[in-house]
Amino acid sequence: MLLKLYTRLLPYIKPYRGRMLLATLLNVVSSFLNVMVFMAIIPIVQTVLTPIPHGTPASSPVTTRLPSNKLIDQQSIVDFFKSLFISTSREESLLKICAFIFIVFALKNIFSYFSGYVMTVVEGGLVKDLRDKVFAKLSTLSIDYFYDRKAGQLLSRVTNDVNTVNSTLVSSIMTLVGQPIQLGLYLFVLFSINAKLSVISFAIAIGSMWLINFFGKSIKRMSHRVQKNQGDILAIAQEMIGGVKVVKSFGMEHYEVSRFKEETRVHYQSAKRLARIRQFIGPVNETLAVAGFVGILYFGGHEVFAGSMDGGELFLFLLALITLMQPVRTLSELNGRLHEGAAAAENLFAILEANPTVANGEVIAPAAISFPIRFEHVEFMYSTATDSAIKGIDLEIRPNEVLALVGPSGGGKTTLVDLLVRFYDPSMGRIVLEGRDLKDYDLNSLRKLFGIVTQDTVLFHDTIANNIAYGNRNASKAMIEEAANAANAHSFITELPQGYETIAGDRGVRMSGGQRQRIAIARALLKNPPILIFDEATSALDTENEMLVQEAIERLLKLRTAVVIAHRLSTIQQADRIAVVNNGRIVELGSHDELMSYKDGLYQRLFSIQTRAASEGLVSTL
């Protein structure tokens, strides 16, 4: 399971395999040099630590005596190092050894530096690629994917989980390659000294590995919980920041703080449990290692007492065993890191392997519409609902026609528009453009047909000019200003301190609702789409701003195809046709005059209520 999961990540590492191979080779050389320094201890022991008989000058020649090893030709190893260091005098040999240790350590650190640097470059590139791929995949997923999940959870996937996968995966690869090589070199040293003691040490190490693997599953389970908590924290923070005006207007600051504290408390408790398991592994492993070391010391001591090995051999063996503990401990902790990374990788693959519910077609949509767009027996039900939101709709949207959708809230007006631009696909029936089902068309080319202005206008934290040019990034300054003029926005933009270069703020918080709406209209106009959609574009505005926005809308609607969703019926009286939508069905269809002629019709009743409310100074939003 763990191996299969990480195998799925290998394609993301493939572009960096050359650099990773280079870093691995550098790491191997660094490990080899590290062992070379250790191997120099043999002549050091003989040169420095071997007592000199009384009366022997310091310049006397050096002799060696190490017992033979039946498994490995130990004497040949000793002879090799003798040829490097042993001279006619102890003083000269000591100088050679000191120079050797300094040079080898310097080279080891140079190779270690370049290995670490190359791997840092690989890690940075891998983080970038993974983050780009996750974000790009999110951009292809359908609207319902985002509505079914917390935004903070998705942000956590892009940030925290990518970092976790990178830190565990890349470091694990280096550990899996570098540490076994270092481990093998040290085991070679151990076996070259005493094979019997080495076998005992190896058996103890296997027992330690089994225990560490036992804790790995708990680490993975707790890591899933911690990563979910991180997403919940981000979600609450995002909601509070995005809705700061609502929070403050209702005096809910303390409530939001308490929610945030509760999530951070849960995260803290989960992180503590994860840390307890993770930190428990090291001491347990080290305790086992020390127990093995003590056992080896006891057994080796008896070997010395029996004359099977001398004290110098035992000293070298114990020193090698202590040095061996670091790669063993690193490898034993690797399992926990791999399980922690696996939890994050599963979260990423849940996004990377998700399929959009709205599939992309292959046919390029026409640049303009010459024939009506037809809804044919269309039904639609949201995945979380128990009843259809749209029921048996048959409707035409004709070229150069303004079609208004009106009716009580929740009747299905916005859902019809969402189906038109393929935010969703019908559960039954089809929507036809020029003889083809909308599902046949390429989504990008299809959505270029539409320009949408909604009640909840979204502006980006960028200049006003860039917000207007969002749908047409190649627009010139003159084109941007022309669109702003047509949307009745140019005058207020020029009065701002930096004009069109003024930063709109996150979601346009630095401007009024009417100003944001006019910028949104300018953005739709600059895109110059064949079909305009206005979804309650004036319902939240005061009378003055509504008049300015309505004037801009009417200017836009000339010689265009448009779908207008409106609650204020006074704004759509000039529409070519008006469809009254109630409980998912079109219950009335016609011009304003035709609908007003229907006795006891829903449109007539709604219009009468709004007219009476306006005459009495009330506001009706039905």
pLDDT for residue 525: 82
Going by the DSSP 8-state scheme, the letter that residue 378 receives in this structure is E
Query: Amino acid identity, residue 45?
Result: V
Going by the DSSP 8-state scheme, the letter that residue 62 receives in this structure is P
Encode pLDDT of 268-321 as tens digits: 888 888 777 777 766 777 777 777 778 888 888 887 788 777 776 777 777 777
Distance CA 241, CA 222 (A): 29
Contact 157, 121 (CB under 8 A): no
Contact 395, 389 (CB under 8 A): no
Q: Decide if 64 is inside a domain.
A: yes
Residue that the structure tokens 């408790």 belong to = 269
CA-derived radius of gyration, the chain = 37
pLDDT for residue 415: 92
- Written as six digits, the tokens of 13 are 């590492």
pLDDT for residue 75: 56
Closest among 190, 194, 155, 172 to 67, alpha carbons compared:
194
Encode pLDDT of 169-221 as tens digits: 666 766 776 677 777 777 777 777 777 777 777 776 666 666 666 666 666 67
Average pLDDT over residues 122-136: 84
pLDDT for residue 542: 55
| Res 67 pLDDT > 50 | no
Percent over 90 (pLDDT), the chain: 13
Contact 223, 343 (CB under 8 A): yes
Residue that the structure tokens 């040169």 belong to = 47
pLDDT for residue 419: 93
Number of domains in the chain: 1
Phi, psi for 430 (deg, rounded to 5):
-155, 165
Average pLDDT over residues 604-622: 70
Q: Decide if 39 is inside a domain.
A: yes
| Res 43 pLDDT > 60 | no
Distance CA 356, CA 379 (A): 20
pLDDT for residue 58: 46
| Domain of residue 242, residue span | 2-352
Closest among 604, 205, 560, 210 to 406, alpha carbons compared:
604
| Res 35 pLDDT > 50 | yes
pLDDT for residue 199: 78
- Written as six digits, the tokens of 71 are 């498994």
Q: Decide if 269 is inside a domain.
A: yes
Partners of 562 in the beta sheet?
Answer: 402, 532
Distance CA 545, CA 6 (A): 57
Q: Which residue has the higher pLDDT, 156 or 81?
A: 156
Contact 40, 81 (CB under 8 A): yes
Partners of 503 in the beta sheet?
Answer: 463
**How would residue 86 be classed by pLDDT, with cut points 50, 70 and 90?**
low
pLDDT for residue 70: 46
- Written as six digits, the tokens of 23 are 């870093």
- Written as six digits, the tokens of 229 are 């908590």
3-state secondary structure 532-577: EEEECCCCCCCHHHHHHHHHHHHHHHCCCEEEEECCCHHHHCCCCE
Closest among 423, 425, 480, 466 to 447, alpha carbons compared:
423
Distance CA 443, CA 493 (A): 34
Distance CA 157, CA 351 (A): 9
Encode pLDDT of 333-350 as tens digits: 676 677 777 778 888 888
Distance CA 545, CA 565 (A): 18
Residue that the structure tokens 């300094």 belong to = 102
Contact 261, 229 (CB under 8 A): no
What CATH number did the domain enclosing 27 receive?
1.20.1560.10
| Lowest-confidence segment of 206-215, 226-235, 390-399, 592-601 by average pLDDT | 206-215
Average pLDDT over residues 115-132: 84
- Written as six digits, the tokens of 327 are 């790669």
70-84 burial, b for 16+ CB within 10 Å, e for fewer? Answer: eebebeebbeebbee
> 252-256, 462-466, 520-524, 586-590 — which one is most confidently predicted on average?
586-590
For the beta carbon of residue 331, count every other beta carbon within 10 angstroms.
Answer: 20
Distance CA 81, CA 477 (A): 77
Q: Which residue has the higher pLDDT, 51 or 367?
A: 367
Q: Decide if 406 is inside a domain.
A: no
Encode pLDDT of 454-472 as tens digits: 777 778 878 889 888 887 8
> Nearest 5°: CA angle at 529, between 558 and 502?
95
| Lowest-confidence segment of 453-462, 531-540, 542-551 by average pLDDT | 542-551
| Res 503 pLDDT > 80 | yes
Q: Decide if 98 is inside a domain.
A: yes
pLDDT for residue 45: 58
> Nearest 5°: CA angle at 415, between 376 and 484?
110
Q: Decide if 235 is inside a domain.
A: yes
> Going by DSSP bridges, is the β-strand pair 402-406/561-565 parallel, antiparallel, or unpaired?
parallel
pLDDT for residue 312: 66
| Lowest-confidence segment of 18-22, 42-46, 436-440 by average pLDDT | 42-46
> 155-164, 241-250, 361-370, 523-532 — which one is most confidently predicted on average?
361-370
For the beta carbon of residue 409, count every other beta carbon within 10 angstroms.
Answer: 10
| Res 68 pLDDT > 50 | no
The whole-chain average pLDDT of the chain stands at 78
Contact 115, 150 (CB under 8 A): no
User: Would you give the distance in Å from CA 137 to the centre of its chain?
Assistant: 10
Crossing angle for the helix pair 162-193 and 90-140, to the nearest 10 degrees = 150
**How would residue 403 be classed by pLDDT, with cut points 50, 70 and 90?**
very high
pLDDT for residue 225: 77
| Lowest-confidence segment of 186-200, 479-493, 497-511 by average pLDDT | 186-200
| Res 405 pLDDT > 90 | yes
| Lowest-confidence segment of 30-34, 239-243, 395-399 by average pLDDT | 239-243
| Res 59 pLDDT > 50 | no
pLDDT for residue 66: 44
Q: Which helix (H) or strand (E) holds 396?
A: strand 390-397
Distance CA 457, CA 506 (A): 12
| Lowest-confidence segment of 18-22, 98-102, 240-244, 445-449 by average pLDDT | 240-244
> What is the pTM (predicted TM-score) of this model?
0.71
Q: Distances from the Cα of 302 to the Cαs of 138, 192, 234, 369, in angstroms? A: 66, 19, 61, 96
Query: Amino acid identity, residue 136?
Result: A
**How would residue 589 be classed by pLDDT, with cut points 50, 70 and 90?**
very high
Distance CA 179, CA 280 (A): 22
Encode pLDDT of 407-419 as tens digits: 888 889 989 999 9
Partners of 580 in the beta sheet?
Answer: 406, 588
Q: Decide if 337 is inside a domain.
A: yes
> 61-70, 78-87, 185-194 — which one is most confidently predicted on average?
185-194
User: Would you give the distance in Å from CA 253 to the centre of its chain?
Assistant: 29
Distance CA 112, CA 146 (A): 45
Distance CA 380, CA 426 (A): 5
Q: Which residue has the higher pLDDT, 167 or 534?
A: 534
Closest among 379, 364, 378, 380 to 434, alpha carbons compared:
364
Distance CA 232, CA 246 (A): 20
Distance CA 389, CA 367 (A): 30
pLDDT for residue 242: 63
pLDDT for residue 282: 67
Distance CA 36, CA 111 (A): 14
Q: Which helix (H) or strand (E) holds 405?
A: strand 402-406
Q: Is 457 helix (H, G, I), strand (E, B) or coil?
A: coil
Q: Decide if 485 is inside a domain.
A: no
pLDDT for residue 60: 46
Q: Which helix (H) or strand (E) holds 590?
A: strand 585-590
